[in-house]
A and B are shown apart, each in its own frame.
Chain A
């Protein structure tokens, strides 16, 4: 079972996404801010990280840079998942080190497909 670390501060979105992912057969660990996200990337060693960008404490861009900069967690694929969906936001996300970008509202089917590709599960 693949393990996903969901870093998301909005309670509703956290609840909704985690439940949907669990139903799809993923194990889900949850972090509520950037700092916790960085810590849990080490402790939980997830297969993929879904990272919101506007986060308290440490924002998603910085958290991603920290995760990618740490040899222990640098190899974990990170997918930015954000309501910042204007021109340039995708590039900003990738520049911070994200391997993939998804905008909110989330297209769940597409999200699953991207997660599978990132975790090497896709056919």
Chain B
């Protein structure tokens, strides 16, 4: 599903050039659950953003569903993104001015899904995530765990093939964290590919494979036995 060849990302300011990622070659297959780990500043989130096409790499190739997308324009990337990728962030990133329902509905709006269809899909997802009773609340009125369930609902509502999660439990207590991980696992079992950046060794246990990054390089990749393609 995903293949990168010598992926590199430089951040340049007026005086300093920082290499966030260098020569990253990874291969992720469909239905895989991959955890990316490493110390702060090693380039985990940068890699996730490149894989999610939120940003373009400075060098290297990126094949998404066998398509080389590293030189794509923002419009082309947006087009691929909205059809194939869902995002879950550590800080939830919900729009404060929108209700739970409206936040979850957002990707469907940009996909041009009709209002009746949207209502049906969103309610189904909210039911599944057990957050239906909060559908008309605003994000500030919810607990952290509830907010993250809304964020996961939004990530899955358009039925993407890939979910990218950046420290999805980072802002949650252990009970809520556990719940989110179990949701991600269920999604993966349902066929969704998941790539998750995490600091937590516990969370990484849910993944089939762990990619370790250090100073922008992939240092090790550990496969777990339970996943066989």
Q: Do A and B come from one complex?
A: no
Residues of A that sit less than 8 Å from B by CB: none
